[in-house]
């Protein structure tokens, strides 16, 4: 997964341009035409003056009663041309906004959509701030490039091409001098631009790092305070900040000196043309007028070149950003080769048929290779067969796990911290994929089940409760999006969250922020249980779901839970052994292996590890 | 605001001043160079005087070299000044935020703070660089050009004196119209950031509930809002270039018309007309530059405001005038303490009400109570994470408000309910407790916290790298590392806020045993759900709904306190039964 090839600059540009071209073809054509018109009008302006003086003013010189009509007419004509130019300028500026903002919108959308499809592993290993920086900093650099740099560069190229044609028609040899000058300019640009781009890339990286650090420190702000770590965190930040400042300075410096270099090489070229031209004119090869004109062209030629070079740093920065954007978009998605889906079902005469109605009965739709489709009723039986798993390839966390949770059974995992309890549940919903062995759901290998459908059939209350900014109601409704208010309240009552919610200033409409400040850990857990209750799945996974709820509340929650668990297969991970006493099956885990299994009474009678844990007599860590 | 912002240039003042100076010198050269060029054409070429051309050529080359030097220097200093300026601003913000109380952070929200420290700073930096380079270059270029026009024809220069103010007003109108919309754009950006952040934090929930589509919808809504507003703002700004072009083209036409009449009337030379027009272009390009800076500054203005907001925010908790630097003992007393979170407008809704407590140094105190009974709130008042609303809290006989905050927090170690580990090695995380702790010390506290065993099982042991949030260790392991980290501080008061909930009972009791035996003089406050975790405490406080429902030993409470009795029985019943079996 890590051997991603780094895209070349060319490929990045091509890919970026494909966003612009696809979807905006017509507008793009109009933009290009408008830019051409606008730059041609600009060049025409230079020609106009020469024409005006030679053809309209000079003839009038010395006349007693000058007739200004012709002059007036030509100026009016020029005014018309200028108006066209101004309109063209407005059109391309205006359309570029559509295009650039549209592209940005699309890119952000793609980023987010793709991010949703990435495996949990991806999020484990990356600081959130770094990911967020892609959405803001990197996308922002693209805006500058798309709306400003690209049209300016194009306009400059058009102007230069026009002037080049004029130069060539004036004198070929002098044009060669200009060519030589341009080659030197390109050389210098390449050197300076290369340096600049190297540091811009570094700058964006440093920015991402600093983002990640800020993000982390913000989230751990309480710990920072409790440990008086403000100074250290400042120092660490300062070091990162210093590194950013350095790359930032260097990148900007190379970019900044590019323009004066280009302009002054232009000036040197001008001298060269003047000297060579002068010599040619002394020898009578060139007329004085054409040298003068040519020199004007040289000046007019270097100006847009300077403009282009000034845009280079924006472009380089944007390309670095684009690379990071594309890297995320190219990140490998969660693999889902499943083809078994979950459908609403009807049972008639013992035969299962698919239906569109919400019958409350679900079935796995299993298409076979020979075209047959079979239906298996969703019951919630989960089996593990010789499952091996490790987060890293050569470090196994679970060894040879075999177990069966029959429909409606309550299976509990106990064991020391780090014994692998949470890991087991993360395998059922395929947050991680097992390396060896098989997990079956209703006798179907879970690899064959579409991930979305698999997860839809499982309810989870996780160790870390995550809430979203919005009302309490919205947060519970996350479990079932089309739930009515009554259903939401029903679920809250079931999990005993109703009581504290009613005490909040706005009840169910109280707005909470994402980190749920103001709610206690226990209250947040109650919300997350209510969410699962509303979801109403056949299989429930409760990962230390009640660890922060006081035992009194827990008792009441437990009653609700028992109601909720009825008829469901439930996996419980809990440290409070009192809550799992009534389990049908208790698995005692140690170092990733199942050491004992059985129900409470059996295990107590066995006087083994469970007994030890239960009485606190032995340390199984 | 500008003054405030300018004060962060600090050590880069020299560069910030040198930049415009070199820019001015560069502009001077840029004005001289066309004059030399004109001489080459008008005198050298016209007279076919090769020597004159060479002479002027050499002068021109020297000028070009000078111009290049000035240009490079100004570029270099500009880069140094602007990058340094951004660094100082970022530093000021981060340092300020570190001094914030939670109230302050909640006010801004973390995602907004992150945007402010990145995107906003980048905007301000760009604007700053533009100001010291182009905002100097533009007007000076314009002034030189205007002077040249004036020297050629006072009458024609009138055109510019009318056109420039008109243009100025139009640009100003564009700017003031666009500014509020840009402000809105940034608010939307915050929202976008927040959605991404929440999604990242809750990715497991999103996946477990298969809510990717809902999340995408949510994101797309904000994304579209950003899109719509940005477009609206840029639409206004899009008028900049055409308006500018229109003005300059009008000027050229007027110059042509009136210039022609002057020439015909014998008041001007044709060569002078083309010079004026050349200068007209120079005035245009400098105005263009100024307007470009204008757009940047408009965008940066909103950003700058947001930065200053952060820097100006008064930390809600402040050190006293003459702080006491030493905490004498681990005695704690609460006197008529009431507390409400400031964001709860309802003054009558106290999270804690009328709490009176006396805790002697070295005692072990258990706190038990229902969800929402404000147990965490109670203990967070001790290291002054929040200030009491009414009453006073004394530690070591002194009101906590009189201590130096750092001294106070150094003596009060707290293991939070929501444990946070940072990316870095286990050892690095532990050293939060004591910066220069050596390996032995680390192992010692880890043994006490029952963490040494599992840490040594990792292949890299204490150098094992933790992911952000410590996702690669289990909840209980995380808690034990956090306990070790707190113990490394050798505090006078140690508070465990439900921080052994994920630790098994046996380990839990071993940790408590270590507390008793190894740190007897430290006051220990243990919030727990498990009765066994607090049963052997010297005193147990039963909290209910923000009030103290009962204080006493387990035995006493079993006789007098209904809540405790109920909790005790519900948890211990199992054991009794099992003992009977």
| Domain spans in chain B, listed from the N-terminal domain onward | 94-312, 332-580
Which residue of chain B has the CA closest to A66?
A: B264
Closest Cα to residue A261, out of B140, B76, B28, B64?
Answer: B64
pLDDT band, very low/low/confident/very high, at B292 (cuts 50, 70, 90): confident
Cβ proximity of B189 and B120 under 8 Å: no
Q: Identify all chain A residues contacting B115, using CB atoms and an 8 Å cutoff.
A: 136
pLDDT band, very low/low/confident/very high, at A619 (cuts 50, 70, 90): very low
pLDDT tens digits, one per residue of A505-541 = 788 888 887 565 667 767 777 888 888 888 878 888 8
Restricting to A residues 343-382, those with a Cβ less than 8 Å away from any Cβ of B are: none
Q: What's the CA gap between A203 and A185, in Å, rounded?
A: 26
pLDDT tens digits, one per residue of B434-466 = 778 888 888 888 888 888 888 888 888 888 887
> Is pTM beyond 0.80 here?
no
Q: What is the pLDDT of residue A554?
A: 66
User: In B384-538, which ranges are E strands?
Assistant: 390-395, 398-399, 412-415, 424-425, 465-466, 493-497, 523-527
CB-CB under 8 Å, B570 with A555: yes
Residues A406-615: name the CATH superfamily.
P-loop containing nucleotide triphosphate hydrolases (3.40.50.300)
Across A238-254, average pLDDT: 90
Q: What is the ipTM score, two decimals? A: 0.81
Q: Which of A122-131, A346-355, B222-231, B361-370 is the most confident on average?
A: B222-231
Across B463-486, average pLDDT: 78
Instruction: Match 């001790």 to its residue by tokens.
Output: B382
Q: What is the pLDDT of residue A546?
A: 57
Asked whether the predicted pLDDT for residue A81 surpasses 90, the reply is yes
pLDDT tens digits, one per residue of A413-457 = 887 666 777 788 888 888 888 888 899 988 888 888 888 888 888
Which residue of chain B has the CA closest to A70?
A: B257
Contacts by residues A173-182 (CB-CB < 8 Å, ≥ 24 positions apart): A173/A276, A173/A280, A174/A273, A174/A276, A174/A277, A174/A291, A174/A294, A177/A269, A177/A272, A177/A273, A177/A276, A178/A269, A178/A273, A178/A298, A178/A301, A180/A269, A181/A265, A181/A266, A181/A268, A181/A269, A181/A272, A182/A305
Asked whether the predicted pLDDT for residue A286 surpasses 90, the reply is no
Asked whether the predicted pLDDT for residue B344 surpasses 60, the reply is no
CB-CB under 8 Å, A479 with B78: no
Token pair of A212 as six digits = 């990640």
CB-CB under 8 Å, A86 with B245: yes
Rg (CA), chain B: 36
CB-CB under 8 Å, A250 with B79: yes
Asked whether the predicted pLDDT for residue B506 surpasses 90, the reply is no
pLDDT band, very low/low/confident/very high, at A5 (cuts 50, 70, 90): very low
B488 phi and psi, to 5 degrees? -60, -20
Q: H helices of A117-229, where? A: 120-124, 128-133, 139-144, 150-170, 172-219, 221-226
CA distance A180 to chain B (A): 17
pLDDT band, very low/low/confident/very high, at B572 (cuts 50, 70, 90): low
Beta bridge partners of A344: A362
Query: CA-based diameter of chain A, in Å?
Result: 129
Topology of B94-312 in CATH?
ABC transporter transmembrane region fold (1.20.1560)
CB-CB under 8 Å, A117 with B227: no
Asked whether the predicted pLDDT for residue A617 surpasses 60, the reply is no
Across B190-210, average pLDDT: 83
The mean pLDDT value of chain B amounts to 82
Topology of B332-580 in CATH?
Rossmann fold (3.40.50)
Q: What's the CA gap between A391 and A420, in Å, rounded?
A: 11
CA distance B471 to chain A (A): 7
The domain segmentation of chain A, as residue ranges, is 9-330, 341-377, 406-615
Q: What's the CA gap between B178 and B180, in Å, rounded?
A: 6
Report CA-CA distances (Å) from B346 to A506, A515, B349, B353, B385. 12, 22, 6, 14, 21
- Residue B369 three-state SS: strand
**Burial, A29: exposed, middle or buried (Cβ in 10 Å; 0-12, 13-18, 19+)?**
exposed
Asked whether the predicted pLDDT for residue A2 surpasses 60, the reply is no
Size of interface A-B (CB pairs under 8 A): 514
Task: Mean pLDDT check: name the lowest of A74-78, A163-167, A613-617, B294-298.
Answer: A613-617
Preferred mutation among B468, B498, B514, B561 to probe A, highest tally of A CBs within 10 A: B468
Output the CA torsion sign for A617, A578, A569, A585.
positive
Q: What's the CA gap between B375 and B541, in Å, rounded?
A: 10
- Tell me the helix, strand and coil percentages in chain A, rounded to 5: 60, 15, 25
A467 touching B, CB under 8 A? yes
Closest Cα to residue B128, out of A459, A248, A244?
Answer: A248
Q: What is the pLDDT of residue A518?
A: 67
CB-CB under 8 Å, B198 with A264: no
Cβ proximity of B319 and B384 under 8 Å: no
Report CA-CA distances (Å) from A587 to A462, B89, B557. 19, 56, 36
pLDDT tens digits, one per residue of A557-606 = 666 677 677 778 888 887 667 677 788 888 888 878 888 888 888 888 88
Q: How many residues does chain A have?
A: 621
* DSSP codes of every residue in A319-368: HHHHHHHHHHHHSPPPP----BEEEEEEEETTEEEE-SS--S-EEEEEE-
Q: Which of A49, A112, A481 is facing B219, going by the closest CB pair?
A: A112
Q: What is the pLDDT of residue B180?
A: 87
Q: Which H/E stretch holds residue A58?
A: none
* Sequence-ordered list of residues with C-beta below 8 angstroms from that of A578, at least 6 positions apart, any chain: B570, B571, B573, B574
Select A9-330's CATH number: 1.20.1560.10, 3.90.1170.40, 3.40.50.620, 3.40.309.10: 1.20.1560.10
A577 touching B, CB under 8 A? yes
Quote the percentage of chain A above a pLDDT of 90. Answer: 10
Q: Which of A309-323, A475-489, B408-422, B562-576 is the most confident on average?
A: A475-489
CB-CB under 8 Å, B94 with A282: no
CA distance A94 to chain B (A): 6
Report CA-CA distances (Å) from B372 to A4, A513, B380, B514, B567. 49, 17, 14, 30, 16
pLDDT tens digits, one per residue of B45-62 = 777 777 888 888 888 889
Closest Cα to residue A528, out of A504, A551, A505, A544?
Answer: A544
* DSSP codes of every residue in A444-474: EEGGGB-HHHHHHTEEEE-SS----SEEHHH
Across A185-194, average pLDDT: 84
- Residue A285 three-state SS: coil
Q: What's the CA gap between A170 and A297, in Å, rounded?
A: 10
Q: H helices of B40-120, where? A: 50-99, 102-108, 110-115
Angle among Cα B227, B233, B238 to the nearest 5 degrees reads: 115
Across B483-509, average pLDDT: 81
CA distance B1 to chain A (A): 24
Q: What is the pLDDT of residue A616?
A: 59
A242 touching B, CB under 8 A? yes
Output the CA torsion sign for B254, B260, B261, B263.
positive
CB-CB under 8 Å, A431 with B566: no
Q: What is the pLDDT of residue B77?
A: 92
Closest Cα to residue B73, out of B19, B135, B137?
Answer: B19
Q: What is the pLDDT of residue A99?
A: 92
pLDDT tens digits, one per residue of B74-128 = 989 999 999 999 999 999 988 888 888 777 777 777 777 887 888 888 888 888 8
Angle among Cα B143, B144, B147 to the nearest 5 degrees reads: 85
CB-CB under 8 Å, B193 with A292: no
A68 touching B, CB under 8 A? yes
Token pair of B44 as six digits = 């050298």
Which residue of chain B has the CA closest to A60?
A: B264
Cβ proximity of A47 and A170 under 8 Å: no
Asked whether the predicted pLDDT for residue A379 surpasses 90, the reply is no
Q: Which H/E stretch holds residue B462?
A: none
pLDDT tens digits, one per residue of B357-405 = 888 888 888 888 876 677 888 888 888 888 888 888 888 888 888 888 8
Asked whether the predicted pLDDT for residue B187 surpasses 80, the reply is yes
CB-CB under 8 Å, B44 with A278: yes
Token pair of A208 as six digits = 């991402």
CB-CB under 8 Å, A252 with B82: yes
* Sequence-ordered list of residues with C-beta below 8 angstroms from that of A563, at least 6 positions apart, any chain: A494
Q: Identify all chain B residues contacting A500, using CB atoms and an 8 Å cutoff.
A: 371-372
Q: Which of A609-613, B22-26, B275-279, B466-470 is the most confident on average?
A: B22-26
B56 phi and psi, to 5 degrees? -65, -40
The mean pLDDT value of chain A amounts to 82
């Amino acid at each position: 997964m890590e051997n991603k090839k780094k895209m070349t600059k060319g490929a990045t540009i091509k890919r970026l341009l494909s966003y612009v071209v696809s979807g905006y073809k017509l507008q793009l054509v109009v933009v290009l035409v408008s830019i051409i018109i606008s730059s041609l009008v600009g060049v025409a302006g230079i020609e106009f003056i020469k024409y005006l003086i030679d053809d309209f003013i000079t003839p009038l010189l010395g006349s007693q009663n000058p007739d200004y009509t012709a002059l007036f007419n030509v100026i009016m004509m020029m005014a018309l041309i200028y108006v066209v130019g101004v309109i063209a300028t407005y059109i391309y500026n205006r359309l570029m906004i559509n295009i650039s903002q549209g592209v940005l919108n699309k890119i952000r959308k793609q980023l987010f959509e793709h991010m949703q499809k990435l495996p949990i592993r991806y999020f484990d290993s990356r600081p959130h701030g770094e990911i967020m920086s892609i959405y803001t900093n990197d996308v922002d650099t693209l805006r500058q490039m798309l709306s400003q740099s690209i049209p300016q560069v194009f306009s400059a190229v058009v102007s230069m091409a026009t002037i080049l044609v004029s130069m060539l028609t004036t004198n070929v040899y002098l044009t060669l001098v200009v060519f030589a000058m341009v080659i030197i300019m390109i050389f210098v640009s390449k050197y300076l631009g290369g340096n600049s781009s190297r540091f811009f890339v570094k700058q964006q990286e440093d920015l991402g790092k600093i983002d990640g650090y800020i993000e982390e420190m913000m989230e751990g702000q309480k710990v920072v305070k409790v440990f008086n770590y403000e100074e250290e965190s400042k120092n660490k930040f300062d070091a990162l900040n210093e590194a950013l400042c350095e790359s930032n300075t260097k990148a900007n410096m190379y970019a900044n000196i590019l323009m004066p270099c280009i302009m002054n090489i232009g000036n040197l070229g001008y001298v060269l043309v003047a000297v060579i031209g002068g010599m040619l004119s002394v020898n009578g090869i060139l007329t004085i007028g054409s040298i003068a004109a040519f020199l004007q062209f040289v000046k007019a030629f270097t100006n847009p070149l300077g403009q282009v070079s000034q845009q280079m740093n924006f472009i380089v920065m944007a390309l670095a950003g684009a690379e990071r954007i594309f890297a995320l978009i190219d990140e490998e998605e969660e693999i889902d080769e499943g083809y078994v889906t979950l459908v609403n079902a009807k049972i008639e005469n013992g035969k299962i048929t698919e239906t569109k109605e919400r019958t409350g009965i679900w079935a796995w739709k299993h298409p076979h290779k020979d075209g047959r489709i079979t239906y298996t009723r969703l019951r919630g039986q989960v089996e593990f067969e010789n499952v091996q798993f490790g987060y890293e390839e050569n470090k196994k966390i679970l060894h040879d796990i075999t177990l069966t949770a029959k429909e409606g059974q309550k299976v509990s995992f106990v064991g020391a911290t780090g014994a692998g309890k949470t890991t087991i549940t993360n395998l059922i919903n395929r947050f991680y994929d097992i390396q060896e062995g098989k997990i079956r759901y209703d006798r179907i290998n879970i690899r064959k089940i579409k991930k979305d459908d698999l997860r839809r059939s499982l309810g989870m209350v996780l160790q870390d409760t995550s809430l979203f900014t919005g009302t309490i109601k919205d947060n519970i409704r996350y479990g079932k999006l089309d739930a009515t208010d009554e259903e939401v309240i029903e679920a809250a009552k079931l999990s005993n969250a109703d009581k504290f919610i009613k005490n909040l200033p706005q009840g169910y409409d109280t707005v909470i922020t994402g980190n749920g400040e103001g709610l206690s850990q226990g209250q947040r857990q109650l919300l997350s249980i209510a969410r699962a209750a509303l979801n109403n799945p056949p299989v429930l996974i409760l990962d230390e779901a009640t660890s922060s709820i006081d035992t009194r509340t827990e008792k009441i929650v437990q009653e609700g839970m028992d109601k909720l668990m009825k008829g469901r297969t439930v996996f419980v991970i809990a440290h409070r052994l009192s809550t799992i006493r009534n389990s049908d099956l208790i698995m005692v885990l140690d170092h990733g292996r199942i050491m004992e299994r059985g129900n409470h009474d059996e295990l107590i009678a066995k006087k083994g590890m469970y007994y030890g844990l239960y009485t606190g007599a032995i340390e199984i860590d | 605001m500008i003054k405030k912002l300018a004060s962060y240039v600090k050590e880069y003042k020299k560069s910030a001043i040198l930049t415009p100076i070199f820019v001015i010198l560069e502009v001077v050269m840029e004005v001289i160079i066309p004059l030399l060029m004109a001489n080459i054409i008008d005198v050298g070429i016209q007279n076919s005087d090769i020597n004159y051309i060479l002479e002027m050529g050499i002068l021109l080359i020297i000028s070009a070299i000078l111009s290049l030097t000035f240009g490079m220097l100004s570029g270099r200093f500009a880069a140094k000044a602007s990058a340094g300026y951004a660094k100082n601003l970022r530093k000021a913000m981060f340092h300020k935020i570190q001094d914030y109380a939670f109230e302050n952070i909640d006010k801004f929200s973390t995602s907004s703070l992150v945007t402010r420290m990145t995107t906003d700073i980048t905007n301000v930096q760009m604007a700053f660089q533009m100001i010291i380079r182009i905002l100097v270059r533009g007007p000076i270029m314009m002034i030189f050009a205007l002077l040249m026009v004036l020297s050629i024809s006072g009458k024609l220069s009138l055109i510019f004196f009318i056109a420039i103010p008109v243009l100025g007003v139009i640009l100003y109108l564009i700017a003031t119209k666009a500014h509020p919309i840009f402000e809105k754009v940034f608010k939307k950006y915050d929202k976008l950031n927040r959605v991404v952040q929440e999604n990242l934090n809750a990715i497991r929930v999103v996946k477990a509930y298969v809510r990717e589509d809902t999340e995408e919808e949510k994101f797309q809504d904000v994304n579209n809002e950003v899109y719509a507003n940005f477009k609206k703002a840029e639409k206004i700004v899009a008028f900049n270039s055409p308006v500018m072009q229109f003005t300059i083209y009008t000027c050229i036409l007027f110059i042509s018309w009136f210039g022609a009449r002057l020439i015909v009337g014998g008041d001007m030379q044709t060569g002078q007309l083309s010079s004026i027009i050349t200068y007209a272009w120079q005035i245009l390009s400098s105005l263009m530059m100024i307007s470009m800076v204008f757009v940047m500054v408009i965008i940066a203005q909103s950003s700058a405001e947001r930065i200053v907001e952060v820097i100006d925010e008064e930390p809600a908790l402040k050190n006293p005038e003459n702080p006491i630097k030493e905490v004498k003992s681990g005695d704690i007393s609460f006197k008529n303490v009431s507390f409400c979170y400031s964001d709860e407008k309802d003054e009558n809704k106290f999270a804690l009400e009328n709490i009176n407590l006396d805790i002697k140094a070295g005692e072990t105190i258990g706190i038990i109570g229902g969800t929402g009974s404000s147990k965490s709130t109670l203990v967070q008042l001790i290291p002054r994470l929040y200030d009491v609303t009414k009453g006073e809290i004394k530690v070591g006989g002194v009101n906590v408000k009189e201590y130096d905050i750092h001294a106070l927090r150094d003596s009060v170690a707290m293991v939070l309910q929501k444990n946070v580990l940072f990316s870095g090695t286990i050892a690095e995380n532990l050293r939060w407790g004591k910066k220069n702790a050596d390996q032995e010390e680390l192992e010692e506290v880890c043994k006490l916290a029952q963490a040494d065993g599992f840490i040594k099982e990792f292949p890299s042991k204490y150098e094992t790298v933790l992911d952000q949030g410590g996702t690669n260790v289990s909840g209980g392991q995380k808690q034990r590392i956090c306990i070790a980290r707190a113990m490394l501080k050798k505090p006078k008061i140690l508070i465990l806020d439900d921080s052994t909930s994920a630790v098994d009972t046996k380990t839990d009791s071993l940790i408590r045993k270590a507390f008793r035996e190894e740190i007897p003089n430290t006051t220990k406050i243990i919030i727990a759900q498990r009765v066994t975790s607090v049963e052997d405490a010297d005193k147990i406080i039963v909290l209910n709904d923000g009030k103290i429902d009962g204080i006493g030993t387990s035995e006493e409470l079993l006789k007098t306190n209904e809540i405790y009795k109920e909790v005790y029985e519900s948890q211990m019943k199992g054991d009794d039964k099992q003992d009977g079996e």
